[in-house]
Structure 1
Amino acid sequence: MADLKVKILSADRVVLETEAKAVVAWMPDGEFSVLPGHINAVMPLEIDEVRLIGTPKGDVVVAVHRGLMETTPDSVLILGEAAELPNEIDIKRAEEAKARAEKRLQQAKAGRKDVDVVRAEAALKRALLRLRLAKKAQSR
């Protein structure tokens, strides 16, 4: 069976356009795999990695920070609020974002009412994802 045409977009650019044998992403209910021949569908994505299996460059991982995934029998389109490849991630910036988010969550735990906990938790999740993928890419 033919490969899937995969396009990953963020708000400001095309992050990646390639072909893959499969796409694995995280939805609110858990991990979800797409193979060629999949039905037409539109699904929400969580803050997590999207794995492209069997691209011309091997397996590829992309950090996607929420969005939508549209599937057809021969394609996958991912529209991410933000998306980036591991080699594009600034580790220092991600570590700073992690520290800020952890500080905000500690302030909320200590009783500060002006802290948006949901936003701080999302910022922490984004920072941890960036750090995990960037460090994994460095070790290869």
Structure 2
Amino acid sequence: MLKRIHHAAIICSDYERSKRFYTEVLGLAVIAENYRAARQSYKLDLQLPDGSQIELFSFPNAPERPSYPEARGLRHLAFAVDDVETCKAHLEGHGLAVEPVRVDEHTGRRFTFFADPDGLPLELYEG
């Protein structure tokens, strides 16, 4: 029935800052960008190399996402990468704080976490 995840939707607090982060730092390609005047909202469609997408939204006065302690709902968004250490160095080169690389005790794969400009937890997962 289900084939794959098509997209994840993210609501940001500062559209231009988040747009730069997802396109310039993470390197996602812009598919479409639309301003929806009735909602005072931008919708930016971004694509990863495998075709999966992120929809980046801006809404006026959107409430903060509860994170710590972790709230119910989506816990984090994970990106598959070939080399966690190389990607970690790239992010740190852009001034981002990245957690130490860990090894998944069940799969033996390396991973790490960092955050987007609004504190949304993002993961790099090797493999």
TM-score (norm 2): 0.30
Structure with the higher strand share, 1 or 2: 1
Q: Larger Cα Rg: Structure 1 or Structure 2?
A: 1
Structure with the higher helix share, 1 or 2: 1
TM-score (norm 1): 0.28
